Amino acid sequence: MTTTVPAPTRAARASEPKPRRPRVPFKSAIVILLAPFAVLFALFYVLPIVFAVVQSLLVVRREGTFGKAELVFGGFAQYAQVFQNEAFWSSMLRMLAFGVVQVPVMLGLALVFALLLDSPLLKGKRFFRLAFFVPYAVPGVIAAIMWGSLFSPNLSPFTALTQNVDFLGADLVLWSIANVVTWVYVGYNMLIIYSSLLSIPSEIYEAARLDGAGQFRIAWSIKIPLVRPAIVMTAIFSIIGTLQLLAEPQVFRSFSSAVTSTFTPNMTVYATASIPNANLAAAFSVVLAVTTFVLSFGFMKWMQKKGNA
Protein backbone atom coordinates (compact mmCIF):
# COMPACT_ATOMS: atom_id res chain seq x y z
CA MET A 1 0.00 0.00 0.00
CA THR A 2 1.39 3.37 -0.98
CA THR A 3 0.57 6.71 0.48
CA THR A 4 0.65 9.97 -1.42
CA VAL A 5 1.89 13.14 0.13
CA PRO A 6 -0.32 16.09 -0.76
CA ALA A 7 1.41 18.88 -2.65
CA PRO A 8 1.96 22.00 -0.60
CA THR A 9 -0.66 24.64 -1.13
CA ARG A 10 0.14 28.08 -2.50
CA ALA A 11 -0.26 29.59 0.97
CA ALA A 12 2.14 27.04 2.43
CA ARG A 13 4.72 27.73 -0.28
CA ALA A 14 4.42 31.44 0.35
CA SER A 15 5.01 30.94 4.06
CA GLU A 16 8.18 28.94 3.50
CA PRO A 17 11.35 30.99 4.09
CA LYS A 18 13.05 31.96 0.84
CA PRO A 19 16.74 31.29 0.51
CA ARG A 20 18.69 34.46 1.08
CA ARG A 21 21.07 35.66 -1.55
CA PRO A 22 24.57 36.19 -0.29
CA ARG A 23 25.13 39.87 0.35
CA VAL A 24 28.25 41.57 -0.91
CA PRO A 25 29.93 43.50 1.91
CA PHE A 26 29.64 47.27 1.55
CA LYS A 27 33.40 47.81 1.37
CA SER A 28 33.77 45.11 -1.26
CA ALA A 29 31.00 46.69 -3.34
CA ILE A 30 32.81 50.03 -3.26
CA VAL A 31 36.05 48.36 -4.38
CA ILE A 32 34.29 46.56 -7.25
CA LEU A 33 32.61 49.75 -8.47
CA LEU A 34 35.74 51.88 -8.24
CA ALA A 35 38.18 49.32 -9.61
CA PRO A 36 37.72 50.12 -13.35
CA PHE A 37 38.16 53.85 -12.75
CA ALA A 38 41.10 53.32 -10.40
CA VAL A 39 42.93 51.11 -12.91
CA LEU A 40 42.43 53.55 -15.80
CA PHE A 41 43.31 56.52 -13.57
CA ALA A 42 46.54 54.85 -12.47
CA LEU A 43 47.52 53.77 -16.00
CA PHE A 44 46.78 56.99 -17.86
CA TYR A 45 47.24 59.67 -15.19
CA VAL A 46 49.34 58.62 -12.22
CA LEU A 47 51.94 56.55 -14.09
CA PRO A 48 52.63 59.22 -16.75
CA ILE A 49 53.14 61.79 -13.98
CA VAL A 50 55.52 59.49 -12.13
CA PHE A 51 57.35 58.71 -15.38
CA ALA A 52 57.72 62.44 -16.16
CA VAL A 53 59.08 63.17 -12.69
CA VAL A 54 61.58 60.31 -12.96
CA GLN A 55 62.67 61.44 -16.44
CA SER A 56 63.18 65.00 -15.20
CA LEU A 57 65.73 63.74 -12.67
CA LEU A 58 67.91 62.05 -15.32
CA VAL A 59 70.65 63.55 -17.48
CA VAL A 60 72.49 62.27 -20.53
CA ARG A 61 76.20 61.58 -20.01
CA ARG A 62 78.74 60.74 -22.71
CA GLU A 63 82.32 59.61 -22.53
CA GLY A 64 84.06 61.84 -25.02
CA THR A 65 82.48 63.66 -27.94
CA PHE A 66 81.21 60.59 -29.74
CA GLY A 67 80.80 58.33 -26.73
CA LYS A 68 77.72 56.27 -26.07
CA ALA A 69 74.89 58.27 -24.49
CA GLU A 70 73.88 57.03 -21.06
CA LEU A 71 71.05 58.16 -18.79
CA VAL A 72 72.21 58.72 -15.22
CA PHE A 73 70.67 60.32 -12.16
CA GLY A 74 71.35 64.04 -12.27
CA GLY A 75 69.32 65.31 -9.33
CA PHE A 76 67.91 68.76 -9.99
CA ALA A 77 70.28 69.59 -12.85
CA GLN A 78 67.39 69.75 -15.36
CA TYR A 79 65.40 72.01 -13.06
CA ALA A 80 68.36 74.37 -12.81
CA GLN A 81 68.20 74.73 -16.59
CA VAL A 82 64.45 75.31 -16.40
CA PHE A 83 64.82 78.25 -14.03
CA GLN A 84 67.59 79.70 -16.18
CA ASN A 85 65.56 79.42 -19.40
CA GLU A 86 64.33 82.91 -20.27
CA ALA A 87 62.15 81.73 -23.16
CA PHE A 88 60.13 79.43 -20.89
CA TRP A 89 59.47 82.10 -18.27
CA SER A 90 58.67 84.67 -20.94
CA SER A 91 56.03 82.28 -22.27
CA MET A 92 54.66 81.84 -18.74
CA LEU A 93 54.35 85.61 -18.26
CA ARG A 94 52.76 85.91 -21.70
CA MET A 95 50.12 83.36 -20.77
CA LEU A 96 49.49 85.02 -17.41
CA ALA A 97 48.83 88.32 -19.21
CA PHE A 98 46.64 86.41 -21.65
CA GLY A 99 44.63 84.86 -18.80
CA VAL A 100 44.19 88.11 -16.87
CA VAL A 101 42.44 89.66 -19.88
CA GLN A 102 40.90 86.73 -21.76
CA VAL A 103 39.44 84.69 -18.89
CA PRO A 104 37.30 87.50 -17.36
CA VAL A 105 36.06 88.55 -20.82
CA MET A 106 35.16 84.97 -21.76
CA LEU A 107 33.42 84.21 -18.45
CA GLY A 108 31.64 87.59 -18.51
CA LEU A 109 30.19 86.80 -21.93
CA ALA A 110 29.29 83.29 -20.82
CA LEU A 111 27.46 84.68 -17.78
CA VAL A 112 25.58 87.26 -19.87
CA PHE A 113 24.51 84.63 -22.41
CA ALA A 114 23.41 82.24 -19.64
CA LEU A 115 21.35 84.99 -17.99
CA LEU A 116 19.75 85.82 -21.35
CA LEU A 117 18.78 82.20 -21.91
CA ASP A 118 17.32 82.03 -18.41
CA SER A 119 15.40 85.28 -18.79
CA PRO A 120 11.65 85.06 -19.59
CA LEU A 121 12.06 88.10 -21.84
CA LEU A 122 14.15 86.27 -24.46
CA LYS A 123 12.29 84.66 -27.35
CA GLY A 124 13.63 81.79 -29.44
CA LYS A 125 15.71 80.27 -26.64
CA ARG A 126 16.34 77.02 -28.52
CA PHE A 127 17.89 78.87 -31.43
CA PHE A 128 20.12 81.06 -29.26
CA ARG A 129 21.16 78.14 -27.04
CA LEU A 130 22.31 76.27 -30.13
CA ALA A 131 23.91 79.37 -31.66
CA PHE A 132 25.92 80.10 -28.50
CA PHE A 133 27.11 76.51 -28.15
CA VAL A 134 27.86 75.63 -31.80
CA PRO A 135 31.38 77.21 -31.85
CA TYR A 136 32.46 74.74 -29.15
CA ALA A 137 31.62 71.90 -31.56
CA VAL A 138 34.26 73.25 -33.96
CA PRO A 139 37.69 71.70 -33.19
CA GLY A 140 40.26 74.19 -31.95
CA VAL A 141 42.58 73.56 -34.89
CA ILE A 142 39.81 74.24 -37.42
CA ALA A 143 38.76 77.37 -35.55
CA ALA A 144 42.37 78.62 -35.52
CA ILE A 145 42.73 78.01 -39.27
CA MET A 146 39.44 79.81 -39.94
CA TRP A 147 40.28 82.86 -37.81
CA GLY A 148 43.89 82.91 -39.01
CA SER A 149 42.61 83.14 -42.57
CA LEU A 150 40.23 85.94 -41.60
CA PHE A 151 43.08 87.87 -39.95
CA SER A 152 45.53 87.32 -42.82
CA PRO A 153 45.68 90.26 -45.29
CA ASN A 154 46.24 87.90 -48.23
CA LEU A 155 43.38 85.53 -47.40
CA SER A 156 40.78 87.56 -45.57
CA PRO A 157 37.69 88.82 -47.40
CA PHE A 158 37.89 91.92 -45.16
CA THR A 159 41.01 93.34 -46.77
CA ALA A 160 40.05 96.94 -46.00
CA LEU A 161 40.40 96.09 -42.31
CA THR A 162 43.24 93.55 -42.28
CA GLN A 163 45.52 95.72 -44.45
CA ASN A 164 45.21 98.60 -42.00
CA VAL A 165 45.24 96.62 -38.76
CA ASP A 166 47.98 94.00 -38.36
CA PHE A 167 46.11 91.36 -36.36
CA LEU A 168 49.00 88.92 -36.86
CA GLY A 169 51.76 91.32 -35.84
CA ALA A 170 53.80 91.08 -32.65
CA ASP A 171 51.54 93.57 -30.85
CA LEU A 172 48.17 91.98 -31.61
CA VAL A 173 48.73 88.29 -32.38
CA LEU A 174 48.32 87.27 -28.72
CA TRP A 175 44.91 88.93 -28.60
CA SER A 176 43.96 87.46 -31.97
CA ILE A 177 44.58 84.04 -30.41
CA ALA A 178 42.55 85.17 -27.39
CA ASN A 179 39.69 85.98 -29.75
CA VAL A 180 39.77 82.40 -31.11
CA VAL A 181 39.83 80.85 -27.64
CA THR A 182 37.00 83.09 -26.47
CA TRP A 183 34.87 82.33 -29.53
CA VAL A 184 35.30 78.57 -29.02
CA TYR A 185 34.84 78.27 -25.25
CA VAL A 186 32.19 80.87 -24.38
CA GLY A 187 29.42 78.40 -25.23
CA TYR A 188 30.97 75.63 -23.13
CA ASN A 189 31.20 77.84 -20.04
CA MET A 190 27.76 79.29 -20.74
CA LEU A 191 26.27 75.79 -20.63
CA ILE A 192 27.77 75.11 -17.20
CA ILE A 193 26.46 78.39 -15.78
CA TYR A 194 23.07 77.95 -17.46
CA SER A 195 22.71 74.46 -15.95
CA SER A 196 23.36 75.98 -12.53
CA LEU A 197 20.70 78.62 -13.18
CA LEU A 198 18.13 75.95 -14.01
CA SER A 199 18.66 74.36 -10.58
CA ILE A 200 17.51 77.49 -8.71
CA PRO A 201 14.00 76.99 -7.26
CA SER A 202 11.35 79.09 -9.00
CA GLU A 203 9.84 80.03 -5.61
CA ILE A 204 12.79 82.36 -5.02
CA TYR A 205 11.98 84.29 -8.18
CA GLU A 206 8.28 84.47 -7.29
CA ALA A 207 9.11 85.90 -3.85
CA ALA A 208 11.42 88.48 -5.44
CA ARG A 209 8.72 89.53 -7.93
CA LEU A 210 6.21 89.94 -5.07
CA ASP A 211 8.73 92.29 -3.44
CA GLY A 212 8.78 94.34 -6.63
CA ALA A 213 12.13 93.21 -8.06
CA GLY A 214 12.59 93.46 -11.82
CA GLN A 215 14.51 91.11 -14.08
CA PHE A 216 17.79 93.02 -13.74
CA ARG A 217 17.50 93.12 -9.95
CA ILE A 218 16.71 89.40 -9.82
CA ALA A 219 19.71 88.62 -12.02
CA TRP A 220 22.10 90.80 -10.01
CA SER A 221 20.93 89.99 -6.48
CA ILE A 222 19.72 86.37 -6.81
CA LYS A 223 20.97 84.59 -9.91
CA ILE A 224 24.60 85.68 -9.97
CA PRO A 225 25.25 85.00 -6.24
CA LEU A 226 23.60 81.56 -6.47
CA VAL A 227 25.62 80.49 -9.53
CA ARG A 228 28.89 81.69 -7.99
CA PRO A 229 30.20 78.12 -7.49
CA ALA A 230 29.68 77.41 -11.20
CA ILE A 231 31.51 80.62 -12.12
CA VAL A 232 34.42 79.67 -9.86
CA MET A 233 34.57 76.21 -11.41
CA THR A 234 34.64 77.60 -14.95
CA ALA A 235 37.33 80.08 -13.89
CA ILE A 236 39.51 77.24 -12.56
CA PHE A 237 39.02 75.28 -15.78
CA SER A 238 39.97 78.41 -17.75
CA ILE A 239 43.14 79.00 -15.72
CA ILE A 240 44.23 75.43 -16.37
CA GLY A 241 43.37 75.70 -20.06
CA THR A 242 45.26 79.00 -20.41
CA LEU A 243 48.55 77.53 -19.23
CA GLN A 244 48.01 74.47 -21.44
CA LEU A 245 47.37 76.47 -24.62
CA LEU A 246 48.95 74.73 -27.61
CA ALA A 247 46.75 74.06 -30.66
CA GLU A 248 45.70 77.63 -31.50
CA PRO A 249 49.16 79.30 -31.30
CA GLN A 250 50.71 76.30 -33.07
CA VAL A 251 48.35 76.85 -36.00
CA PHE A 252 48.96 80.61 -35.95
CA ARG A 253 52.68 79.96 -36.55
CA SER A 254 51.79 79.31 -40.19
CA PHE A 255 50.11 82.73 -40.42
CA SER A 256 52.42 84.89 -38.31
CA SER A 257 56.17 85.01 -37.77
CA ALA A 258 55.50 86.68 -34.41
CA VAL A 259 54.45 83.30 -32.97
CA THR A 260 57.70 81.52 -32.14
CA SER A 261 58.31 77.92 -31.11
CA THR A 262 58.41 79.07 -27.46
CA PHE A 263 55.32 81.30 -27.59
CA THR A 264 53.49 79.32 -24.88
CA PRO A 265 54.82 76.97 -22.16
CA ASN A 266 53.40 73.90 -23.89
CA MET A 267 55.01 74.94 -27.17
CA THR A 268 58.32 75.26 -25.31
CA VAL A 269 57.89 71.72 -23.98
CA TYR A 270 57.04 70.43 -27.46
CA ALA A 271 59.99 72.20 -29.09
CA THR A 272 62.40 70.93 -26.41
CA ALA A 273 61.21 67.35 -26.77
CA SER A 274 61.68 67.62 -30.55
CA ILE A 275 65.40 68.54 -30.26
CA PRO A 276 65.29 65.81 -28.77
CA ASN A 277 65.81 66.52 -25.08
CA ALA A 278 63.05 64.55 -23.39
CA ASN A 279 64.51 64.96 -19.92
CA LEU A 280 64.55 68.76 -20.02
CA ALA A 281 61.06 68.70 -21.59
CA ALA A 282 59.90 66.54 -18.66
CA ALA A 283 61.33 69.08 -16.21
CA PHE A 284 59.48 71.88 -18.07
CA SER A 285 56.27 69.83 -17.83
CA VAL A 286 56.64 69.22 -14.10
CA VAL A 287 57.24 72.92 -13.39
CA LEU A 288 54.28 73.85 -15.60
CA ALA A 289 52.03 71.33 -13.82
CA VAL A 290 53.05 72.61 -10.37
CA THR A 291 52.50 76.22 -11.46
CA THR A 292 49.07 75.36 -12.85
CA PHE A 293 48.13 73.60 -9.60
CA VAL A 294 49.32 76.50 -7.44
CA LEU A 295 47.44 79.11 -9.47
CA SER A 296 44.19 77.17 -9.75
CA PHE A 297 44.21 75.98 -6.13
CA GLY A 298 45.22 79.44 -4.89
CA PHE A 299 42.38 81.03 -6.87
CA MET A 300 39.88 78.54 -5.41
CA LYS A 301 41.05 79.22 -1.83
CA TRP A 302 40.96 82.97 -2.43
CA MET A 303 37.39 82.75 -3.68
CA GLN A 304 36.40 80.62 -0.68
CA LYS A 305 37.85 83.17 1.74
CA LYS A 306 36.15 85.97 -0.16
CA GLY A 307 32.83 84.11 0.01
CA ASN A 308 33.15 83.50 3.75
CA ALA A 309 34.15 87.10 4.48
DSSP, residue by residue, 157-182: S-HHHHTTS-TTSTTTHHHHHHHHHH
| Beta carbons within 10 angstroms of residue 229's beta carbon | 11
Question: DSSP label at 72?
Answer: E
Query: Domain residue spans in the chain?
Result: 30-74, 85-306
| Beta carbons within 10 angstroms of residue 266's beta carbon | 20
Which pLDDT tens digits describe the chain residue by residue (309 residues)? 555 555 555 555 555 555 565 565 767 778 888 889 999 999 998 999 999 999 999 888 877 666 677 778 888 999 999 999 999 999 999 999 999 999 999 999 999 999 999 888 888 888 888 899 999 999 889 999 999 999 998 888 888 888 889 999 999 999 999 999 999 999 999 999 999 999 999 899 889 888 888 888 988 989 999 999 999 999 999 999 999 999 999 999 999 999 999 999 999 999 999 888 899 999 999 999 999 999 999 999 998 888 765
| Contact present, 118 and 230 (Cβ < 8 Å) | no
CA distance 264 to 31: 41
Q: Is residue 112 classed as helix, strand or coil in its secondary structure?
A: helix
CA distance 208 to 216: 11
Q: Which residue type does 286 have?
A: V
CA distance 298 to 300: 5
Name which CATH class applies to 85-306: mainly alpha
Is pTM beyond 0.85 here? no
